[in-house]
Every structure is written in C-alpha cells, then in structure tokens.
C-alpha cells in the first residue's frame, strides 16, 4: 500500500477553515485517497474520497494536487465537534483500508 504522511497534530479556531495536509508520493494511478475521522471512543467515520478531481460533500472538500502526490482535506467551518483524529488513507485494488497514526485535530473556541 502507498504510504501516507500526516502531521501529528494541529489546532484550529472554531468557525475557521481547517486545512489538513497529507503526502502520498508513492501513490499509483488507480489508487484512491480516502479520509476518515475518529471521534473519541467511536468507530471511524467516513468523510470523503477521490481519485484525481477535487471532491466536495456536506462534510468537507478534498483537494488533490495534479501530480496526486499530496492532498488536503478542508473542513470549511470547524466546530468543536470536529475535534478528532483524521486519517488519510490510500486505497488500492485489494480494497484494504490501512490506517496510519493520523492527525489529531483540536478545535478551540
């Protein structure tokens, strides 16, 4: 599986956009980028995924660079409930979802 690199932690002010970076320089052409988050004591929650194009849903936006070696998850208006560990995952054709350490995001009032 292609490896991902994320910052260990980041803080964000409530109401501001949170931009979470992820590097995946060894990604292959048919591998998708997935983002999940895990709020304390809960199961991981799907956020968004993409292949090449930027994606947006009701939770977040995903910006993938043209060379696909990195991506950014954007939470447009962070709330206290967005405090969680965010995981960037590269998924290949064996369908596995392999989680790394993720980024611990703390949203502060």
Partner 1 sequence: DARVTQTPRHKVTEMGQEVTMRCQPILGHNTVFWYRQTMMQGLELLAYFRNRAPLDDSGMPKDRFSAEMPDATLATLKIQPSEPRDSAVYFCASGPTGMNTEAFFGQGTRLTVV
- The contact set with partner 1 (CB under 8 A) reads 30-32, 34, 38, 42-46, 49, 51, 87, 91-102
Nearer to partner 1, 49 or 63 (CB): 49
Measured CA to CA, the distance from residue 56 to residue 42 in angstroms comes to: 24
Number of C-alpha atoms within 13 angstroms, CB side, residue 23?
5
Measured CA to CA, the distance from residue 81 to residue 51 in angstroms comes to: 28
Q: Could you tell me the smallest distance in angstroms from the CB atom of residue 50 to partner 1?
A: 10
Q: Could you tell me the smallest distance in angstroms from the CB atom of residue 46 to partner 1?
A: 4
Q: Is residue 103 within a helix (H) or strand (E), and if so which, with residue range?
A: strand 103-108
Q: Could you tell me the smallest distance in angstroms from the CB atom of residue 109 to partner 1?
A: 27
Token readout for 36 is 């999940």
Nearer to partner 1, 66 or 94 (CB): 94
């Amino acid at each position: 599986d292609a490896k991902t690199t994320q910052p260990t932690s980041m803080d964000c002010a409530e109401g501001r956009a949170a931009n979470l970076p992820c590097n995946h320089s060894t990604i292959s052409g048919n591998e998708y980028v997935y983002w999940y988050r895990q709020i304390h004591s809960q199961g991981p929650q799907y956020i968004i995924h993409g292949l090449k194009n930027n994606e947006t849903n009701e939770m977040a936006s995903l910006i993938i660079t043209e060379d696909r070696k990195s991506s950014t998850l954007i939470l447009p208006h962070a709330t206290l409930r967005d405090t969680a560990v965010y995981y960037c995952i590269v998924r290949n054709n064996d369908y596995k979802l392999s989680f790394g350490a993720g980024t611990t995001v703390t949203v502060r009032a």
